């Protein structure tokens, strides 16, 4: 499946051939001059099988990280929260605009989060 996705803060439109995500980084002003564009190729993938869908989702997530400015230091909770919100919105909108049920299902699968606590002895 080949698709092109245009993602902005306000609009979502699907076209053909490649996937591109357009979004303003969390700290940017939402105008055309501050939008970030990352082209994601999915035309080489078979999105009808799980492996192809996983690779597509991985590419979308990698591009979203670029768009959202990279993961900030965990000691900066406000920046980390903005980054996570940007990642979720960017990935969710791009996956939705791709229109592939398998990629969408993989994106909605809960992620395993491992919490580690240290206890003083």
The domains of the chain are located at 4-108
pLDDT at residue 22 greater than cutoff 50: no
The total of other beta-carbon atoms located within 10 Å of residue 15's CB is 13
> How far is the C-alpha of 71 from the C-alpha of 27, rounded, in Å?
13
Instruction: Answer with the residue of higher pLDDT: 51 or 35.
Output: 51
Confidence of residue 102 (pLDDT cuts 50, 70, 90): very high
Mean pLDDT of 69-91: 93
Residue 86's pLDDT is 94
């Amino acid at each position: 499946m080949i698709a092109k996705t245009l993602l902005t803060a306000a609009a979502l439109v699907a076209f053909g051939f490649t996937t591109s995500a357009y979004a303003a980084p969390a700290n940017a002003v939402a105008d055309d001059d501050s939008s970030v564009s990352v082209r994601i190729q999915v035309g080489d993938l078979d999105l009808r099988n799980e492996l192809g869908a996983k690779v597509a989702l991985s590419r979308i997530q990698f591009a979203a990280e670029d768009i959202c400015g990279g993961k900030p230091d965990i000691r900066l909770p406000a920046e980390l929260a903005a980054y996570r919100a940007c990642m979720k919105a960017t990935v969710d909108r791009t996956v939705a605009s791709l229109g592939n049920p398998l990629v969408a299902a993989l994106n909605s699968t809960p992620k395993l989060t491992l919490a580690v606590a240290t206890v003083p002895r």
